[in-house]
């Protein structure tokens, strides 16, 4: 499919065609070059959407293969009224909001420290790319070990300084904060590098004017830099927000949604419904609900990323 459409695109555009033929074939060639992308992505989005829709109104329960058929909206009502849904929604929202706030605040402070020339800043920025690029499963395994209440690195360190040790991922209360720590560790450097790029691109004149008026460093950060950075901060918020919503590896490896269901996000709930309870009908309904959440929340992001080019 891929090869066919690109060779079809090549033919008429090749040198030697008449001028008018070339102009007419331009649009065709462009369409041919876009087609593979569009077709493959349509398969990614449209097929699962329709299939989810189909399964969500039917009873598809692999543990009860003989009870199949149309059930109307019963899958949706049983998802929404199920005991797990509201809990998972709450866990997901807390995780997204708290982790995002931490990453933005810490990320902005570190970006500020790197803003003006500093010896060794290249080493810092190189170190910073490691956490968010390295295999999440491997990093999550490391954190699982670090959080281990008996003999894990964090408690060993706390005990060494005579501080009380904690149960971390083994306790209901600390499991979610522990996972927020992991994600903040992993993704704050990404926020740092984006905000740093934004700071570097700011016009010098604005700060010189502020300095002339006698504004100190922090005043000019708050009244000059932050307002100018607002579009970029919004991009970070929306991108990180969506990715936090999608986070699965860390949860699955470190707590698997536990203890109990203390860290069961919508993603983990969906995985359990589909692949542990094998209730595909209900899982499809939940998937569609999550899809709606993502589409509603991601609308502003897509507009913002795509439109800047039009202003140029």
Partner 1 sequence: MSPATGRLLRTVFLTLFCIVWVAPLFYTLRVALADPIYAQSGTPPLLAAITFENFAGVFANAEFMGALLNSLIIGVASTILVLIIAVPAAFVCATFEFRGRANLEAWILSTRMLPAFVVVLPYFILFRSVQLLDTMLVLIIMHTVISLALAFFMLRSFFADIPKETLEAANLEGAGHLTTLLRVALPQVRGGLIATAILVFIFSWNELAFSFTLAGGAVKTGPVAILGFIAFQNVQVAGLMAAANLLIAPIAILLIVAQKGLIRGLSFGAVRA
Among 4, 10, 163, 260, binds partner 1 (CB under 8 A): 10
- Measured from the CB of residue 145, what is the shortest distance to partner 1 in angstroms? 6
Region near partner 1 per CB under 8 A, out of 66-74, 130-138, 163-171, 219-227? 130-138
SS (H, E, C) the chain: CHHHHHHHHHHHHCCCCCHHHHHHHHHHHHHHHHHHHHHHHHHHHHHHHHHHHHHHCEECECCCCCCCEECCCHHHHHHHHCHHHHHHHHHHHHHHHHHHHHHHHHHHHHHHHHHCCCCCHHHHHHHHCHHHHCCHHHHHHHHHHHHCCCCCHHHHHHHHCCCCCCCHHHCHHHHHHHHHHHHHHHHHHHHHHHHHHHHHCCCHHHHHHHHHCCCCHHHHHHHHHHHHHHHHHHHHHHHHHHHHHHCCHHHHHHCCCCCCCCCCCHHHHHHHHHHHCCEHHHHHHHHHHHHHHHHHHHHHHHHHHHCHHHHC
Binding mask 103-122 for partner 1 (x = CB under 8 A): -------x--xx-x-xxxx-
- Measured from the CB of residue 270, what is the shortest distance to partner 1 in angstroms? 5
**Counting contacts by CB under 8 A, is residue 232 touching partner 1?**
yes
Among 58, 239, 258, 259, binds partner 1 (CB under 8 A): 239
Residues in 190-219 that interact with partner 1 by CB under 8 A: 190, 193-194, 196-198, 200
Residues in 168-187 that interact with partner 1 by CB under 8 A: 185
**Counting contacts by CB under 8 A, is residue 138 touching partner 1?**
yes
Among 102, 170, 228, 291, binds partner 1 (CB under 8 A): 291
- Measured from the CB of residue 181, what is the shortest distance to partner 1 in angstroms? 10
Among 226, 248, 260, 277, binds partner 1 (CB under 8 A): 248
Among 13, 82, 258, 259, binds partner 1 (CB under 8 A): 13
**Counting contacts by CB under 8 A, is residue 65 touching partner 1?**
no
């Amino acid at each position: 499919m891929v090869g066919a459409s690109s060779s079809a695109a090549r033919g008429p555009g090749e040198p030697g065609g008449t001028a008018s033929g070339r102009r007419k074939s331009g649009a065709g060639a462009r369409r041919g070059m876009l087609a593979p992308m569009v077709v493959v992505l349509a398969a990614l989005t449209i097929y699962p959407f329709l299939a989810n829709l189909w399964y969500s109104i039917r009873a598809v329960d692999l543990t009860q293969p003989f009870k199949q058929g149309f059930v109307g909206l019963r899958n949706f009502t049983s998802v929404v009224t199920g005991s797990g849904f509201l809990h998972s929604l709450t866990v997901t929202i807390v995780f997204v909001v708290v982790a995002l706030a931490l990453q933005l605040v810490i990320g902005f402070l570190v970006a500020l420290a790197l803003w003006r020339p500093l010896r060794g800043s290249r080493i810092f920025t190189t170190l910073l790319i490691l956490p968010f690029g390295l295999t999440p499963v491997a990093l999550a395994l490391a954190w699982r070990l670090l959080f281990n209440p008996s003999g894990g690195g964090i408690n060993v360190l706390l005990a060494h300084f005579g501080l009380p040790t904690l149960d971390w991922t083994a306790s209901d209360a600390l499991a979610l904060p522990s996972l927020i720590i992991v994600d903040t560790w992993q993704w704050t450097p990404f926020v740092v590098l984006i905000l740093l790029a934004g700071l570097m691109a700011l016009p010098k004149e604005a700060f010189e004017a502020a300095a002339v008026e006698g504004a100190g460093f922090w005043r000019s950060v708050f009244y000059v830099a932050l307002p100018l950075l607002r579009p970029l901060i919004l991009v970070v918020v929306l991108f990180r927000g969506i990715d936090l919503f999608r986070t699965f590896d860390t949860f699955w490896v470190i707590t698997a949604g536990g203890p109990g269901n203390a860290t069961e996000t919508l993603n983990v709930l969906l995985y359990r419904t589909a692949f542990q309870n094998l209730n595909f009908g209900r899982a499809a309904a939940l998937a569609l609900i999550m899809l709606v959440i993502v589409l509603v929340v991601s609308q502003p992001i897509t507009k913002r990323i795509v439109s800047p080019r039009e202003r140029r």
